[in-house]
Structure formats: C-alpha cells, structure tokens
C-alpha cells in the first residue's frame, strides 16, 4: 500500500508495515517537549496519574521561553515548577535563562530532532520540525504528561495535501511569503487535520530556515503537520548538529493525496496578512497607506540568523521612523551572539531598535511589546488573531523580516524594494 512521508514515519514508529488515513495508531515518540506555560499543567497531570519517572530523561525537553526571563510572580512560579521537576527527574535537556532560546528554533539548533523522528510538543507550533523531515505536531498538556510517562502517543493518521514547488524566490521574498501565500490560497482550515507535504525541484531553492518558517505555520492552515522531503541541505544541517543516525522517508510515487498544488516560487510576491486571520493576505499592489506603531522582528517563525541578517541589510545606515517602536528578538542565544559578533546588533541599535534576549514575549501578548487600543504592529510572528499581541482593539499584520524592516523605516507597511 502506497504511503505519504508522514504515513511512513507513523507506521515505522507504530511497528506496522503500513497505515492508512483515518487509522488510529499508538506510536513511540522520539521527543516530548514543553514550555513554561504548558509544562506545569503536564507536570500536575503526570503526578495525578501516579507516574514515578519520565520514560527517558534524554528524550524529554523543557524550554523556558514564553514568560522567561520571568515577567511576574506567576511566571516565576511556573518556571520554578519546571525547574524542580527536571532536577528531580534528571531531565537532560532543560533550557533556562542563559541557555534558552525560543523552543522551536532551539531544538533544531541543538540537534535534538533528526529526519524520521516523531516529536510531540505542548505547543501548537511544534510542527516546525517537519522542515528537517520529522513528523512533529502540537498536543495538549495531558498528552504531554502521558508522553513523558510512557514515551507513546495516540494519533489518527492524517491524509495529505501535496505542494509541488518549482522555481526560485526573488530578492526580499522568503519562506514567510511562501507560507502566507499558501494560507491565503487555501484558508486557515484548508488543510484541517492533514499533512502538508512539500516536494519538487523548488525545495532546493529554499534554505533550511525558509523551510522551518513554512513548516512552523502549517498549523495556521489547520494542518496536523508540515513536512519537507529530505535533501542534501537537510542532511548537511542535521549532521553539523547531531551524530544520531536517521532515516529519510520519501513518499511513494503513487501515494494518495487529497489535493495537489503547484507553486511557482518565482511568482510569489512580498505578502502581508492583514487582521485578524493569517488567510487575509495582500500583496503590495493591494496595500495602500497603513500607518504603524510597532514592528517586531523575531519569534519561532522568523528569529533565525538569516532573518536578522535580512532585516539588518535593510536597516543599515537608516533610522526607524520616530513614531515607531522596533523590537528585535533573536530566537536563541547562539543567534544573538552571532548577531553581536557580526555587527547586526550594532546596526539595529544605531537604527533605533531595541534588541531583546530570546523570548516568545510579544508574539502571544505576553510582554516585551504589548499593544494598546488602536495601535498597529507589523510582526514576523505567526498569528494575528483579535487581541493576539495586546488590546482587542489593536491590529497585527504578519510579514517577512524584509517587509518588517522596511515598514519600521517608512512608518507604514512598506515594500522592501521601495524603501
């Protein structure tokens, strides 16, 4: 029976020769992830079910990133609970202030995920790791608790949509524009509980970081996961960070897909998602003058070094508009350090930006950039729901780092080719 990439990974981890869409399977997981918001709930459930220890101290990961460094007493209590649990159970991969990063950028950077893995995380953007050929998906804190205790998780095998990529991206067009283009095309429920599988000769024209961004936002199309075929770029990225053996799964030629889309990367333009859904996309031939108050460059979606480098190229020698607050958040400590060493942080500060320690911060309306009523932000984050970044009467416009940087200079949503 022919299978997709995702179906092959799930079959292998369930100890089965084959699976089909809609089938319920119990699979062995390679990693269980939580953060400072979701882990405390999972820890309480772990204790409630009477679990005595984690299934594998090397395969459980907790990252303090949402409200860390702690923004208030409640955040401090949450992080302490995680810290105490990981100390008690000798969890190897616990990342606290000074060692942390935004979880979905940190795990690939640390080599904690390789192709063919099954990863569950109590955070919806766990689907990021499909960029390197893994099956990864978000789960609830109860599933995280059971995963920590047993090393297993139940899944309904998803059907799939195939995206055949061709061509190459134009200057200042990136993976963010690709995924916004796709979500604008199929809608926020266009891939509901399906696997978004990316193949074709155009894949090689995308950097691993473009792929991480695209997979990260598969959930914004309702998908169970997003996954890319493993190629030489993937292998080089993974082997530079991990010595684990891995299996690269490729879909069978006659695998069944619910739909197939052909995407010509050369035809994609800089794209902005207007409030209040990621599917509400516009290109610059449809955008008029939209004044803004804030820009956020960072998040698990676009806080990679490539993203900061792209923004710095546009900001270098220029100034952020006087009425705009520009916040730059490197996704990990290593990215932050590299940005310092290569002069990017100097460029940002001279332009009038503030540069933060790695944190999810403003993305979820946590801290480090909350919006007041009536304010507008251009953000390289992944969601622009009502009240996502602050007041319910504020507005978030999702865009690439290039568009965000150009907008910071112009004081309005701006085309990076025209600033």
Question: Could you tell me the pTM of the whole model?
Answer: 0.95
In the prediction, which pLDDT does 419 show?
84
- List all residues 6 or more positions away from 50 whose beta carbon is below 8 Å from its beta carbon: none
Say whether both 247 and 275 belong to one domain.
no
Residue 417 located in a structural domain:
no
Question: Could you read off the pLDDT of 8-40 as tens digits, one per residue?
Answer: 999 999 999 999 999 999 999 999 999 999 999
Q: Where are the beta strands (DSSP E) in 245-293?
A: 259-264, 271-273, 281-283
Question: Could you read off the pLDDT of 123-149 as tens digits, one per residue?
Answer: 999 999 999 999 999 999 999 999 999
Residue 307 located in a structural domain:
yes
Burial of 48 (0-12, 13-18, 19+ CB in 10 A): exposed
Say whether both 300 and 214 belong to one domain.
no
In the prediction, which pLDDT does 205 show?
95
Say whether both 41 and 70 belong to one domain.
yes
Say whether both 235 and 361 belong to one domain.
no
Say whether both 227 and 254 belong to one domain.
yes
Residue 64 located in a structural domain:
yes
In the prediction, which pLDDT does 367 show?
92
Q: What is the CATH number of the domain that holds 94?
A: 3.30.499.10
Residue 71 located in a structural domain:
yes
- The last residue of one of the domains, among 210, 237, 264, is 264
In the prediction, which pLDDT does 148 show?
98
- The last residue of one of the domains, among 216, 233, 264, is 264
Domain count, the chain: 2
Say whether both 151 and 205 belong to one domain.
yes
C-beta of residue 202 within 8 angstroms of C-beta of residue 180: no
Residue 220 located in a structural domain:
yes
- Residues (pLDDT < 50) of the chain are none
In the prediction, which pLDDT does 291 show?
97
Could you list the residue range(s) of the whole structural domain that residue 392 is in?
Answer: 271-410
SS3 call for 153: strand
SS3 call for 265: helix
Pairing of β 135-138 and β 118-121: parallel
Residue 415 located in a structural domain:
no
In the prediction, which pLDDT does 1 show?
79
């Amino acid at each position: 029976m022919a299978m997709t990439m995702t179906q092959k990974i799930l079959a292998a981890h369930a100890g089965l020769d084959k699976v089909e869409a809609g089938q319920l399977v119990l699979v062995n997981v390679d990693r269980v992830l939580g953060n400072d918001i979701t882990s405390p709930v999972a820890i309480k459930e772990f204790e409630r079910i009477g679990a005595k220890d984690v299934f594998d101290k090397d395969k459980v990961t907790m990252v303090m990133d949402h409200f860390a460094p702690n923004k208030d007493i409640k955040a401090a209590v949450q992080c302490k609970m995680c810290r105490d649990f990981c100390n008690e159970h000798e969890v190897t991969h616990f990342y606290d202030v000074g060692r942390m990063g935004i979880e979905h950028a940190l795990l690939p950077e640390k080599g904690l995920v390789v192709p063919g893995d099954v990863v569950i995380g109590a955070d919806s953007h766990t689907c990021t790791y499909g960029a390197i050929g893994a099956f990864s998906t978000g789960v609830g804190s109860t599933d995280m608790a059971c995963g920590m205790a047993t090393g297993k998780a139940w899944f309904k095998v998803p059907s799939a949509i195939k995206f055949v990529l061709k061509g190459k991206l134009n200057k200042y067009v990136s993976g963010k524009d690709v995924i916004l283009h796709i979500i604008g095309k199929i809608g926020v429920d266009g891939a509901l509980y399906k696997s978004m599988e990316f193949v074709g000769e155009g894949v090689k024209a995308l950097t691993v970081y473009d792929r991480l961004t695209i997979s990260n936002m598969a959930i914004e199309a309702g998908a169970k996961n997003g996954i890319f075929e493993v190629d030489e770029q993937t292998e080089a990225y993974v082997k530079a960070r991990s010595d684990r053996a891995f299996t690269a799964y490729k879909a069978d030629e006659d695998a069944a897909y619910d739909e197939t889309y052909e995407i010509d990367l050369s035809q994609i333009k800089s794209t902005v998602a207007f409030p209040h859904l990621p599917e509400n996309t516009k290109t610059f031939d449809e955008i008029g003058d939209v004044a803004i108050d804030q820009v956020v460059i960072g998040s698990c979606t676009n806080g990679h070094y490539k993203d900061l480098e792209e923004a710095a190229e546009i900001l270098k020698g220029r100034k952020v508009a006087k009425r705009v607050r520009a916040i730059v958040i490197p996704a990990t400590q290593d990215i932050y350090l590299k940005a310092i060493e290569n002069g990017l942080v100097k460029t940002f500060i001279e332009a009038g930006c503030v540069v933060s320690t790695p944190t999810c911060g403003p993305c979820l309306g946590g801290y480090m950039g909350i919006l007041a009523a009536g304010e507008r932000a251009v953000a390289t984050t992944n969601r622009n729901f009502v009240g996502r970044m602050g007041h319910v009467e504020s507005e978030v416009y999702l865009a690439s780092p290039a568009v965000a940087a150009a907008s910071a200079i112009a004081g309005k949503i701006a085309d990076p080719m025209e600033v």
